Amino acid sequence: MHKKTTIHKETIVGEKGETTVRIFSNETHQIFQRGQIDTFIMTVPKSLGPLNYIHIWHDNQNSQSSSSWFLKYMIIYDLQTLQKSYFICQKWFSIMKDDGQVERILPIAGDLQKSQLSHILSKHAYYNISDNHLWFSIFLRPQSNIFTRAQRCTCCFVLLLTSMLFNILYYDQENEIKTDKNNNGISLSLGPLYISSQQIMIGIIVELLTFLPSLLLVQLFRNVQPRQSHQKQISSSPEMLSKIKKKSISEITNVNNNKKKKRKITFPWWCVYLGYILSLLLSVASMFFIFVKGIEFGDLKTQKWLTSSIISFFSSILLVQPLKIIALIIFFAYFIRKSQNDKEINE
């Protein structure tokens, strides 16, 4: 017996006609998962002209949790005219949530609607949390992203060990007697931890110092090109567009070539192994010095080091990574509000 799944359908209406009912499907992976961006290729027998609206719905034939679907927006990219049409929704398709509707008509969005701050924040907030927050992205990573979960775990492990190393190097250079005399603030001993304002500040500062090396490692993994076999699988999709005119194909090729010239720097696919080797070297070196220096510490200094290391860990999750996300969201919201270069289309 096959599990019954919710079927999503749509009709696109333009000034010169409309499509038949189209069913969203993908043979390789599940579609419309939480935080996921899905891309589909659709052909029509003739031009629809300027688009007016999209009629979209689902049949509500699954369990209540699976049939509840929140749609942020849709983008239609015409491969002949090379124009993008935006349809903003920001509503639930569910009989249990919002207004209880599972069928909606989305009119084409104008420039004012596309540049609204609420749309920009909603568009980038979840994506930045699920992809750019290094710790949260282990669980929330977008499925289409080439920065794999294993690579994210590797970066987190290296970040944790390097922060512990920086902490232990600080306490190795510290004059313990002088520090104890100057430490007149409130302190608290909690099991193996020795908590004071000094340990909190050291933990936060060390995490800020280790942020840059971890960022370089993350960017190395992010910008590695996929292997040739994966590229061939992606490049086979234009075969489905055999009805597109040759002129349009040449225009698309020219546009893609121009985009390639402006594209950010990428690394060959084998650099992923370089990233793993670099991660291994950093991890082994960090563990070695942590072990060597740790056995020389007394109980009090070990407690201070352990406390600062734990504070560094939580400050990375709750302070540094959120600040990075907030900075990215503010950048998108205020500095490139008029930019229409959607990362989702390029992917």
Amino acid letter, 131:
D
Neighbours of 176 (CB within 10 A): 13
pTM, whole model, 2 decimals? Answer: 0.66
Tell how far CA 277 is from the center of its chain.
24
Say what the pLDDT of residue 283 is.
Answer: 93
User: Nearest-5° angle of CA 81, CA 83, CA 88?
Assistant: 145
| pLDDT less than 50: residues of the chain | 1-4, 176-182, 230-252, 259-261, 338, 340-341, 343-347
DSSP E strand boundaries for the chain:
8-14, 17-18, 22-23, 51-58, 69-77, 84-93, 103-107, 187-190, 193-196
Say what the pLDDT of residue 287 is.
Answer: 92
Length of the chain, in residues: 347
Q: Which of 335, 327, 332, 329 is nearest to 211 (CA)?
A: 327
Tell how far CA 338 is from the center of its chain.
21
CA–CA separation, 343 and 108 (whole Å): 20
Extents of the domains making up the chain = 9-114, 149-225+266-346
Question: Which tokens in the block code for residue 64?
Answer: 């209540």
Say what the pLDDT of residue 187 is.
Answer: 56
Say what the pLDDT of residue 278 is.
Answer: 93
CA–CA separation, 324 and 120 (whole Å): 17
Say what the pLDDT of residue 153 is.
Answer: 94
Q: What mean pLDDT is reported for the chain? A: 76
CATH of domain 9-114: 2.60.60.20
Say what the pLDDT of residue 344 is.
Answer: 46
Task: Render pLDDT for 288-325 as a digit per residue (tens, 0 to 9).
Answer: 988 888 888 777 778 888 888 888 888 888 888 888 88
Tell how far CA 290 is from the center of its chain.
32
